[in-house]
Amino acid sequence: MIPSERLTMNAFTSIKSAWKSAQLLIAFHRNKDGRSRQDPRLWSPKNGVAGVTDDPKVKESFLVVRGHGDAGDVQIKLHPDQLVVRRDPEAIGWTGVIIDHYGVKVRVGDVWITVQADGSIKREAISGADDTSWIEANGEFLRLTPEMEINVSGDGEKITRTRSDDFAAIVGDLAISRERSEPGAPLAHDQMRRLAKD
């Protein structure tokens, strides 16, 4: 076992965690007549090689990595367009990772963190405190919540905050604060698409 550190709310505590074994499996999600199975039929290929099929809803290749202690078991699904990694919800840290051609998404608690191919980062809450934040590749920061929009330019020269009834900004050495011309007009947060809560 490999000693590591676990991040708690206030401090790191020492833990021991490791993954101890891996098994390649193929899941058949349909019967020979094409009907969906309630539980997939699992098969372990004898030569240790499994093809990646075009439709993972019919036949799916994946690895099961058994965890020890706080590590939790991990399932790595091999899809033609992405790798999907799922982890026991009781395990420490992240519980899901999706990797595709465009970036990497990591689920921690009820938050998805996405790193795009251009280096930009997106943080989106999927329940509870509903808010989304971005750090663009040029360093610009944007946060949208039901109550306000916050934007900071990449060079730090411009900071703005927009709420339903007022607007405030710092541009260089100038500070601005005023009522919105259309109080109560919807914020960008109210018009944006949401992640599926799966």
Q: What is the pLDDT of residues 104-131, one digit of tens each?
A: 999 998 899 999 999 999 999 887 567 8
C-beta of residue 189 within 8 angstroms of C-beta of residue 150: no
Residue 177 belongs to what domain range?
A: 110-190
- pLDDT score of 14: 58
The answer to whether residue 83 sits within a structural domain is yes
Q: Which of 80, 100, 120 is the last residue of a domain?
A: 100
What pLDDT band is residue 100 in, cutting at 50, 70 and 90? Answer: very high
pLDDT tens readout for residues 124-143 = 988 756 789 999 999 999 99
The predicted-structure confidence for 164-179, as pLDDT tens digits, reads as follows 888 899 998 898 888 7
Q: Are residues 63 and 34 in the same domain?
A: yes
pLDDT in tens, 17-33: 578 889 999 899 988 88
